[in-house]
Amino acid sequence: MIMSLPEEDLTCPVCCDIFRDPVLLSCSHSFCRNCLKQCWDTRIRECPVCRRKGSKSPPPSNLALKNLCEALQQMRRQNSLEEQVRCSLHGEKLKLFCLADEQPICVVCQASKLHKNHDCSPVEEALLNCKKKLEFALKSLQSKMENLKGMYKTSGDMFTYIKYQSLETQRRIKSQFELLHQALCDEESARTEALKKEEEEKVVAIKEKMNKLSAEILSVTETMSAIERQLKEDDIILLKNFKATQDRDRDILGGLDDMSGSLIDVTKHLSNLKYRVWEKILDNVDYTSVTLDPSTAHPCLVLSDDLTSLHYSKQPSCCPDNPKRFHVSAEVVGMTSLGSGSHHWVVETGSNQDWLLGVASLSVSRNTEVSARPENGFWTLCFRDGELRAMSSPPTLLTVSSKPEQVKVHLDYNKGTVSFFDPVDNLLLYAFSQTFTEPLLPYFYTQNSHPLRILPEKVLITVLQQ
């Protein structure tokens, strides 16, 4: 009966497609329910064909026509499925799956030279294996999607923090340059411009990273949707499309690297700033041999603008995470690693009643809390509860007449010694002896609101005359 009807009798006059949920008007014309609603929403309530005014009540469904259209659609699907399950070359039913080409084939294909030496399996057996592979790929992509979303959020946080870093660094640069003579204005402008250029480069880099993450998220989403559709398809259709789906999964980019190096290098702009412009001013130039690395500072540590002092705050800062930062204990290390030669610096402890000073190995853990002792890569002096101790194994209680207001740390890397002195009378407090196997970093810890301050050294300029 369906085949005897011309297709135009089953076609909606509005959308020119097979009727979907047809309704019947009093003039005997039929339309898709949605098509008629759209027409009546934009013009008066009349038949789109004969213009006869329609009733105010909703038109009834044309059930007979609906059944005919659904039967026609079902017949089309069956014919399409029948074509899909037969070989396009030989017309035979697809009963085998070529493991080499990952495609369903017929028995004639198997005997042909194209697949003659290929291993094949029944489609039922291949279907189970292919479904397992696709389900595993889907789970892997779902896990990857979660990681990508986390990385995208971290990128967004870093984007915001870079802007903050830029503004804060500009403020610090300005505060230091205000202490200098007017002759330094040109130098200030040059350094501010360098910061702005780095900011632009970092912002461009993080935007590109975020764009790549967005593109990969979209790609993963589309691939996941394709696999989910595949898993709902007919078995043979799934097998026919399996290789294309697998190839699409392989084309997805690997996970992006971490965010190391994304932030502005604040120390490049602030470290020893006044010393590096000493040619502009010959008097009152302070040089600090050790400056703190803000990228390593625990969020509860507050560093000074010139990166030479630190104190503890119960209110942590909103700084983004990075692999260099101490996460558990209120610690920070210096900017420059020390891998040879002799080095010293003096720290003013003042009223601070809870501190550790010394050196730490470059590879010390930043994510776990460990004792600051030599076996863990620390050589430190500790003042706590009114007692001074060298953090040896076990700790050594030191007898002193009074708490030192200043502590001089002296590292002789080649000789393998770390010594602590009271610089007022150059009294040796304690000395470690160790064979170092990796570079060391100046190390600081405090959980006290009073600051620890690295004291500057005087710079002597000597002119050699020919």
Name 410's Cβ contacts closer than 8 Å, sequence gap at least 6.
342, 343, 344, 417, 418, 419, 420, 421
Task: List C-alpha distances in Å: 39 to 12, 54, 278.
Answer: 13, 12, 81
Instruction: Give the three-state DSSP class for 250.
Output: helix
The span from the CA of 197 to the CA of 115, in Å, is 61
The span from the CA of 433 to the CA of 411, in Å, is 10
Q: Note whether 407 and 317 are within 8 A (CB).
A: no
Task: List beta partners, residue 299.
Answer: none
Task: List C-alpha distances in Å: 12 to 8, 9, 20, 68, 75.
Answer: 8, 8, 8, 13, 19
The span from the CA of 369 to the CA of 359, in Å, is 16
The Cβ of residue 340 has, within 10 Å, a number of other Cβ atoms equal to 10
The dotted CATH code for 281-458 is 2.60.120.920
Domain ranges of the chain: 7-83, 123-267, 281-458
Tokens for 312, please give them: 């503890």
Tokens for 259, please give them: 């965010």
Residue 155: the pLDDT is 86
The span from the CA of 328 to the CA of 445, in Å, is 12
Instruction: Give the three-state DSSP class for 41.
Output: helix
Instruction: Give the three-state DSSP class for 429.
Output: strand
* Total number of residues shown for the chain: 466
Residue 280: the pLDDT is 63
The DSSP annotation for 434-448 comes to: ----S-EEEEEEE-S
Query: At which residue do the structure tokens 């896990």 appear?
Result: 143
Task: List C-alpha distances in Å: 336 to 375, 377, 459.
Answer: 22, 17, 19
**What is the DSSP secondary structure assignment for residue 292, as one 8-state letter?**
B
**Of the candidates 194, 374, 366, 191, which has an alpha carbon nearest to the alpha carbon of residue 293?**
366
Residue 4: the pLDDT is 56
**Of the candidates 349, 364, 388, which has an alpha carbon nearest to the alpha carbon of residue 443?**
364
The dotted CATH code for 7-83 is 3.30.40.10
The span from the CA of 67 to the CA of 462, in Å, is 103
Residue 185: the pLDDT is 73
| Distance, C-alpha 46 to centroid of its chain | 58
Instruction: Give the three-state DSSP class for 383.
Output: strand
Tokens for 262, please give them: 């994304």
Residue type, 382: C
Long-range contacts of 382-391 (CB under 8 A, 24+ apart): 382/355, 382/356, 383/349, 383/352, 383/353, 383/354, 383/355, 383/356, 384/353, 384/354, 384/355, 386/353, 388/429, 390/420, 390/429, 390/430, 390/432, 391/356, 391/358
Tokens for 240, please give them: 């026919």
Spell out the per-residue pLDDT of the chain, length 466, in tens: 445 567 777 889 989 888 999 999 989 899 999 998 888 888 788 898 898 887 778 889 999 888 888 888 888 777 666 556 777 777 678 788 888 888 888 887 877 878 878 888 888 888 888 899 899 999 999 999 999 998 888 888 888 888 988 998 898 888 877 776 666 677 778 888 999 999 998 899 889 888 988 888 888 888 888 888 888 888 787 887 788 777 776 665 555 556 677 888 888 888 888 777 666 676 666 788 899 999 999 999 999 988 999 999 998 887 877 889 998 899 999 999 999 999 999 999 999 999 999 999 999 988 888 899 999 999 999 999 999 999 999 999 999 888 899 999 999 999 999 999 999 889 999 999 999 999 999 999 999 999 999 999 876 666 566 6
